[in-house]
């Protein structure tokens, strides 16, 4: 059963990353169009800053879970490559523990702030977009990142104990 859940969870993370890419492309398209319109007619796109901020925040937070899943986050390889394998796996486990705590804290405190801003009816400056739109990708991305970190922490702990993961499960994390 864990194989099916893992397969679908990995697929979800990939789709969320593709959505992040679309947000980044959207931000690039809006910014480029705004600059061109300002050069041609000295009139840009109304609300460019609100839209680009929303898209950049969305792209950043929705791509973090995929980066964690692929283990492409910043690491100090010069130290871990010289450590014994068990020590390197322990450091990886500690890193994932801290990531899980940090991303879960962002999700928890972000949820409290989002709820407060939603209750107050806060909106963006130019377009008047509800601020909850800005919080949704932050909460989704940080929550998924926390879950991915917990999964990688469990994998590291199992590896430290010498428990070999099923080969298809390992391949899913790599793909």
* DSSP class per residue in 152-169: HHHHHHHHHTTPPPPHHH
Strand partners for 123: 130
Mean pLDDT of the chain: 87
Q: What global pTM score does this model have?
A: 0.83
Phi and psi based region of residue 71 (left: phi greater than 0; alpha: psi -120 to 50; beta: remaining): left
pLDDT the model gives residue 160: 83
- Composition of the chain by helix, strand, coil, percent to 5: 80, 0, 20
Q: Is the predicted pLDDT of residue 171 greater than 60, yes or no?
A: no
Per-residue pLDDT tens digits for 5-22: 588 888 999 999 999 999
Per-residue pLDDT tens digits for 148-162: 999 889 988 888 887
Q: Is the predicted pLDDT of residue 85 greater than 90, yes or no?
A: no
């Amino acid at each position: 059963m864990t194989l099916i859940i893992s397969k679908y969870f990995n697929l979800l993370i990939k789709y969320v990353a593709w959505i992040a890419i679309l947000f980044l492309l959207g931000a690039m398209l809006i910014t480029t169009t705004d600059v061109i319109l300002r050069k041609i007619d000295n009139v840009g796109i109304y609300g460019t800053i609100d839209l680009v901020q929303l898209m950049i925040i969305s792209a950043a937070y929705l791509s973090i879970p995929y980066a964690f899943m692929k283990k492409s986050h910043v690491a100090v390889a010069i130290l871990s490559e010289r450590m014994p394998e068990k020590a390197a796996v322990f450091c990886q486990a500690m890193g994932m523990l801290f990531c899980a705590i940090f991303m879960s804290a962002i999700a928890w405190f972000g949820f409290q702030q989002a709820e407060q801003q939603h209750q107050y009816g806060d909106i963006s400056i130019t377009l008047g977009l509800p601020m909850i739109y800005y919080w949704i990708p932050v909460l989704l991305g940080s929550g998924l990142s926390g879950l991915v970190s917990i999964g990688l922490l469990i994998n590291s702990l199992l590896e430290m104990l010498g428990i070999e993961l099923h080969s298809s499960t390992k391949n899913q994390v790599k793909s």
